[in-house]
Structures are given as C-alpha cells and as structure tokens.
Amino acid sequence: MIGVLADDYTGAAEIAGIGLRYGLRVAYQVALEPVESVDLLIIATDLRTLPGDAAVAECEAFTGKLAGLGPEIIYKKTDSALRGNVLVELEAMLRTLNVSRALLLPANPGLGRTIRDGHYFLNGVRLDRTAFFKDPDYRHRNSEVLGMLGESDGTATRYLRLEDADLAAGVNVGETLREEDLTRWVELLDEATLPAGGSEFFAHILRARGHREIHSRNRFEEELGRTLYVCGSASQYSRAAIERAKAGGATVCEIPDELFSGRGNRSLALEKWAGQIFGRLKEENTVAVAINRPLKSEATAPGKLARDTAEVVEKVLQSSEGLAALRIEGGATFSAIAHRLGFKTFFPIREYAPGVVGMRVGGLGGLSVTVKPGSYPWPEGSWFARFAENAGVGRD
C-alpha cells in the first residue's frame, strides 16, 4: 500500500484521480479508520489553512498513524504554489518518520508550472507577476522558492539542479523545467528520503514502481435520483459560473441575507434556507446551493460560510428522502460537510478532470459525492455545465 498525506481536500482528490488512472484501488479518508484491500490510501486534511503550531501537531499525529499501517512508501502532497505550512509540515514528517531528508518537487510542468534558476514560473511568467500575487491565500511576495518556503533554525533547505543533484539532510527543492526532469528526480529516491510535492511528481513515482496508466478520464454522467450541487466558493470565478447557469434556467438557492450578514437569527435563517432547498428538490431533480456573494466582513468569513453551508446540507439530507448525489465545489466546503456529517471514508470511482473526482461514501448505501476545486469548471455533461450552455455562453 502507498500512503499519501495531503494538505487539503481538493489536493487529496487530485491524487485519488491519479490513482484511479493507474488502476489502483483507492480509499480517501478524512480520519484514519480500518480499511481493507486498497493500494492507495489518501488522508485529506486542512493543514494548509491551520496556524503553524496546529499544523505541526496534526501533521505529526496523522504521519504517525499512517506509518503505523506499514505503507511501502509515504508521499506528502503539498500545494503546487507552496501555499500553507509546507516547511514546518515537512519537518514534522521527517521527525516522525525518523528520516533525514525530503525531496520537494512542487512543480507541475504539464500544467505550465515550472521551477527554473531558483524561481517558480507559471506559463513562463514568474509567479509573483501572476494572479497568484493577488490571491489572499498566497502569502509569498516573491517567486524565489526557498524564500517561499521560509527559514527554519533546525532544518536546512537547498535548491538543486539535476546536474549537481546530491541530496543532503533537510529539504531539497529540485529544479523542474520539463516532465522528463521528474523521472530523473525519482531515480534519487531511497528509504531515507521523503518524497513531497505536486501531483505530477506522484504520478512519476507510480510509473517508477511499475504502474501503468490504464484508465482515461471519464465523461461526466449525472446520477439517477435527486442531486444537490453545493457551490461553497465565494470567488469571482464561482459567482460568474453561477450567474451563467442561472441565466440558462438552473435553480439556485442562495444563502439568505440574514445568514450571510450574520445579523439575523441564525437558526431561523438556516431553517428558511433548508426549507427553500427541500421545496425545490421536491419539484425538480437537481438543485444548486450557493453563496454567490463577495466576502465583505468577518461575519462572512469563509470558515463561517462553510459551516453554515454544511449545516444546511445536513438539514436537507435529513429531510429529503432518496438524495442520490452531492456535487461539492471547494475543498473548505467539502471539509466542512464531511466533518458535519461524520463522513470518514470515501471510495473514489471516477476521475472526470484533474482534481474532479467522483466517490462513494463508505457505509452510506452508495451516496455519490463529487468534489471539484473552486477555480475549476464543472465538467461537460454535468447539470451545471448544461445550464451554462443553455445560456449561450458555454464553458470557460
């Protein structure tokens, strides 16, 4: 078995999709519990958004439990743009696993994300000159990868080119200009080295271990029965997609004003929202739930909105008999829903696009859950995409 510790939920789904592509039996968990007959076990966490000390403690705990299962190899999935607590998490894993070094390859050259001369580039443009610079989650103010990682009193960080690649104790960041570079970096891995980074590095590790790509991505097909789309992202991208779908005739139940602003009675507002959603589901097979507003104050902080959304989904599931599928946009929303509903294990079954994966909830009679990053479009063939096409706009 291969074990993966991911720092967010959509990154974990991306790894799950790769596992399916390579013919592996995959389990996706948000809390470790016994699971049998899997080739790839992925632990999805909220490490990226936690304060540093909390991220370290949780990373150590998950790493110890995962190592206790005896995997052949453990991989640390990080954000490709090094957002979050990457360095301290790697330090925590090195200590827990009692290994001396990590090889960190966050670049995804197949997606235009490369590392050259010590700097990170997106489609040939230095990262600090792209839209990432405006992303509130992108805390770095330069594109120099060691600067993006930060400094540590206890762990050395090094930038390596392939021609002088000699892994040393600490965190080694490898220059990556093309996909072939990933294959060459994989050759340097040994039992004393923790592999970490993006999805493409993980895929090359699978290839080096003898796995071959046997499945292509699946065309999206909606489930029979009632389906609830949950659009938890408040990004401009998500709001524009929702407006296109509404223009095409989609039913979208948006968060009530009093719940969004935080000024009204929360319990009553949640009941009002859940009642609206349930009422529409009785009339139609598929309905979307959405925030669809820009964030303006602490009352509309992403964490609060994710919790409100998770609670209204719980109320709808309790009231709506025969709900067959959840389609969830955004890792934070997926995390909140999974924890609210007590979902611990998912079994990925289909990859529709990188990071867009369909799963079955373990122990819940086959409820289907599809997760998608907030900045990705819904796949062709989905209810959401069809309504956008009805509006005469089509996909971005």
Domain boundaries, the chain: 2-208, 226-390
pLDDT at 8: 94
Distance CA 304, CA 318 (A): 21
Residues linked to residue 103 through DSSP beta bridges, in sequence order: 172, 195
Q: Which residue has the higher pLDDT, 235 or 169?
A: 169
- When pLDDT is averaged across residues 183-189 and rounded to a whole number, the result is 96
Distance CA 232, CA 334 (A): 9
Architecture field, domain 226-390: 3-Layer(aba) Sandwich (3.40)
Please report, as a single letter, which amino acid is at residue 17: G
pLDDT at 295: 67
Query: What is the CATH superfamily name and number for domain 2-208?
Result: Putative sugar-binding, N-terminal domain (3.40.50.10840)
Q: Which of 88, 82, 58 shows the shortest CA–CA distance to 154?
A: 88
Query: Torsion angle of alpha carbons 319, 321, 324, 326, nearest 10°?
Result: 0
pLDDT at 64: 97
pLDDT tens track for 115-155: 999 999 999 999 988 877 766 666 667 899 999 999 888 89
